[in-house]
Amino acid sequence: MARRDDITGKGALNGYRSSKANNKTKHRFQLNLQKRRFYIPEEDRWVTLKVSAKTLRTINKNGISAVLKKAKEKGSLLKEV
């Protein structure tokens, strides 16, 4: 399974590591993904999602229902909840 945020769809970024001598080596910057269970009161069920730490903070601030609604409107919801 891909290392992607289930709600926002964000994935890893590419870049370079730079040494003190300014030598460049390719590097992938992975997301800080967390596997979490969320309770959705409207549907009276639990769902397990892989979300980034940033998305988790947004869920804590706005609530899971509001975040899922906004993601569905935007069309970025990867996992059908």
Asked whether the beta carbons of 5 and 53 are under 8 A apart, the reply is no
CATH code for the part of the protein at 13-74: 2.30.170.40
Domain boundaries, the chain: 13-74
Entry pTM = 0.84
| Burial 6-43, CB ≥16 within 10 A → b, else e | bbbebeeeeeeeeeeeeeeeeeeeebebeeeebeeeee
Helix and strand tally (H, E) in the chain?
2, 4
Instruction: Please report the pLDDT score of residue 17 as a whole number.
Output: 96
**What is the length of the chain?**
81
Instruction: Please report the pLDDT score of residue 2 as a whole number.
Output: 81
Average pLDDT score, the chain = 93
Tokens standing for residue 56: 């988790």
Instruction: Please report the pLDDT score of residue 1 as a whole number.
Output: 61
Query: Residues of the chain whose pLDDT is less than 70?
Result: 1
